[in-house]
């Protein structure tokens, strides 16, 4: 051990302790979570003017990825909490997020069965237009987005 290492030895923090292993996640990927947890537990009528909307290509919709990923993260945390955590997860996360995501005018509003051809149509809506604000209207802080 070098002199520098000895000097800071008492300040070292144990990052990993074998007695406290991180829990294994229940679902190894977002698609696995959607297919094995969300869809078996969210069975609502789809289509029609007031029915829920769903797209089998949910992974092509950025809003769906964001919402479903948030559900997955919250599920993985709350499943390890004591009762009534999973009930709270359904009430506070699953129900409102899925109701928002699958509403008739939601993310999948253009996806569905074409009544004329009887084939499924998949449409990712265009992003709304945006204009850059004039210089000086906002102050900018360095961010991760600047690195992209």
Buried b (16+ CB within 10 A) or exposed e, 53-86: bbbeebeebeebeebbeebbebbeebeeeeeeee
Residues 6+ apart with CB under 8 A from 122: 55, 56, 57, 60, 111
Residue 41 resides in a domain: no
Count of domains forming the chain: 1
Residue 57 CA: distances (Å) to CA of 33, 45, 83, 84, 90: 15, 18, 34, 33, 24
Give the start-end residues of each E strand in the chain. Answer: 112-113, 120-121
Residue 118 resides in a domain: no
Q: Give per-residue pLDDT as tens, 22-64.
A: 789 999 999 999 999 999 999 888 766 668 899 999 999 999 9
Residue 99 resides in a domain: yes
Residue 95 resides in a domain: yes
Res 6 pLDDT > 80: no
Output the pLDDT for position 3. 55
Residues 6+ apart with CB under 8 A from 95: none
pTM: 0.75
Res 1 pLDDT > 70: no
Res 8 pLDDT > 80: no
Residue 108 resides in a domain: yes
Residue 137 resides in a domain: no
End-to-end CA distance of the chain: 40
């Amino acid at each position: 051990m070098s002199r520098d290492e000895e000097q800071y030895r008492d300040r070292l923090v144990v990052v990993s302790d074998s007695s406290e292993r991180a829990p294994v996640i229940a679902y190894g990927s977002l698609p696995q979570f959607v297919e094995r947890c969300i869809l078996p537990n969210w069975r609502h009528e789809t289509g029609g003017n007031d029915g829920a909307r769903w797209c089998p290509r949910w992974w092509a919709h950025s809003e769906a990825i964001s919402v479903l990923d948030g559900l997955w993260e919250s599920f993985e945390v709350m499943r390890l909490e004591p009762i009534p955590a999973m009930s709270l997860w359904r009430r506070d996360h699953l129900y409102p997020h899925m109701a928002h995501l699958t509403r008739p005018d939601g993310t999948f509003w253009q996806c569905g069965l074409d009544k004329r051809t009887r084939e499924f149509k998949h449409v990712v809506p265009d992003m709304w237009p945006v204009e850059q604000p004039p210089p000086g209207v906002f102050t900018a802080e360095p961010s991760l987005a600047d690195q992209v």
